[in-house]
Chains A and B, each alone.
Chain A
Amino acid sequence: MNSVSEACSQLKQNYDACFNTWFTEKFLRGDHSTDSCGPFFKVYRECVRKAIQEQNIDLKEIEKEVMGTENEFKTPDGSK
């Protein structure tokens, strides 16, 4: 898949490959201690955040947490 900016595509590929391996071999097996993808994510994330701002998309809105807060929508019977 493409990134929101062409400039970030390679960084995205590097990070995604690292993440998918970590997710399967560490996270799902209960190992939450090692985060070897941190450096990949840092540089990729900076690229994406910059691109989002340059495209005049509301970065604050994107990074806002809604799920699990009182702003989350409820079903007609009042449950979530």
Chain B
Amino acid sequence: MKFYEMGIVLKHPWDQVVQSFWQRYPNPYSKHVLTEDTVQREVVSGKLRSIRFLTKTGQGPRWADKFVPHSLVGIIEESIVDPKTQTLTTYTRNIGYSKIVSITEKVEYHQDPTNPQQTIVQRKAWIESQFHIGTLRRPIEAFIYDRFKKNCTKASNGFQWVLSKMWTKEPVTPPVILNDIALEAARRATTIASHANVRLSS
């Protein structure tokens, strides 16, 4: 299994990010996302829990295509919006194509406690192949891992595009990618802030 972690900063307050989250498709970077539906939604203890189902065109190596009946991938997206802590957490996994590879992703969007105009995004991913031809598992994981990293950039750019379109009249600036040190500092700041139950105005 391969584990991947990265962070970015979106130059918008959390309130804007969370509203844009539901409207991030379509965007110029999301041609591979075909459908989007909400299958479950309820407010539980002041938090909004949703389950959405999306379909995307398959993105595996070409030689793997003959092992799947069609090239569509189903994505299940669970999410929790907590307006008290100003956190949006999502957990996505694929069905269909899972005979080739499983990609599971957890993303946390927090209001930046040091800057009311920014949101910190922490992304974690687990990539695992249980392909029946054992010797191909590692090459599949490596291929998907590389493709996944590129797709993270596309996804971030797409989301940033939607944010700019919804909230600003300025040209789109790409989100800032956090290096390990900055990511760790951001993580610590967010933990301290949520323990102190600080609520920032946006």
A binds B: yes
Given A20-B23, A75-B3: A4 and B55 interface contact (C-beta under 8 Å): yes
How far does the alpha carbon of A67 sit from the alpha carbon of B104 in the complex, in Å? 11
Complex CA–CA separation, A75 to B25 (angstroms)? 29
- On whether the beta carbons of A62 and B95 are closer than 8 Å, the reply is yes
Interface segment, one of B34-42, B59-67, B137-145, B152-160: B34-42
Residues of A within 8 A of B6 (CB): none
Contact of B38 among A45, A65, A68 (CB under 8 A): A45
| Size bracket of the A interface | 35 or more
Report the nearest A residue to B91, measured CB to CB.
Answer: A67
> Which B residues are within 8 Å of any A CB, using their own CB?
3, 5, 15, 18-19, 22-23, 25-26, 33-41, 43, 46, 48, 51, 53, 55, 74, 76, 78, 80-81, 83, 89, 91, 93, 95-96, 104, 106, 124, 126
Binding site for B on A (CB under 8 A): 1-4, 8, 12, 15-16, 19-20, 23-24, 27-28, 30, 32, 35, 41, 44-45, 48-49, 52, 57-58, 61-63, 65-68, 72-73, 75-76, 80
Instruction: Give the CA-CA distance A76 to B3 in the complex, in Å.
Output: 8
Which A-B residue pairs are the 3 nearest by beta carbons?
A67-B91, A1-B36, A67-B78
Name the A residues within 8 Å of B34 (CB-CB): 2
Using known A-B contacts A1-B26, A45-B38, determine if residue A62 contacts B3 with beta carbons closer than 8 Å: no
Q: Are B53 and A4 closer than 8 Å at their CB atoms?
A: yes
CA distance A65 to B91 in the complex (A): 10
Q: Which of B41, B43, B78 touches A65 (beta carbons < 8 Å)?
A: B78
